[in-house]
Amino acid sequence: MGFQTVRCPICGYPDSKVNDSRPSDDGLSIRRRRECLSCQARFTTFERYYESPLIVIKNNQSSEPFDRNKIMRGLMTATKKRNISPGQLEALIDDIETEIRNTLKNEIHSKVLGDMVLERLRDIDDVAYIRFASVYKDFKNTNEFTEALKGLD
């Protein structure tokens, strides 16, 4: 797939030159003032960065969009009354999202995602790790809980 030029909205000529570029007011795009190389008409284009959505494949093989807020809710519950700032949790989620995107895949299994959260949470707070693990791994008995505690060593 090659580079595609912007057609002039007046005459349809396929090439133009950029006279001015600046970030848009929202900071999420670039505003470009262009001039048609054929009819000299001036027009504005906006260039946006596109990120393909991340998809989480659940245990029942259904899928849903990656939801930072869902992870944050689980982390907030696990870290309640612990000395962990929301900024630390945001950084944890940022780190996970970056790692997933760096794999250049747009799908991840929920188990892998949960393990990524646990791995990072273990380094932040043991109690929060156990709280999160008890819900995520759905402990059925004290033996499973004890095994999770051994994982902290």
Indicate whether 41 and 81 sit together in one domain: no
Indicate whether 96 and 109 sit together in one domain: yes
Indicate whether 1 and 63 sit together in one domain: no
Indicate whether 72 and 37 sit together in one domain: no
How far does the chain reach from its first CA to its final CA, in angstroms? 51
Q: Which domain holds residue 33?
A: 1-50
Indicate whether 91 and 41 sit together in one domain: no
Give 75-91 pLDDT, tens digit per residue: 999 999 999 999 899 99
Indicate whether 22 and 66 sit together in one domain: no
Residue 4 pLDDT: 59
Query: Total structural domains in the chain?
Result: 2
Give 33-62 pLDDT, tens digit per residue: 999 999 999 998 888 776 788 999 998 999
Indicate whether 60 and 100 sit together in one domain: yes
- The band of 5, judged by pLDDT with boundaries at 50, 70 and 90, is confident
- Which tops the pLDDT comparison, 26 or 64? 64
Provide Rg for the chain, Cα atoms. 24
Q: How far apart are CA 124 and CA 90, in angstroms?
A: 13
Q: Quick one: 101 exposed, middle or buried, by C-beta within 10 A (0-12, 13-18, 19+)?
A: middle
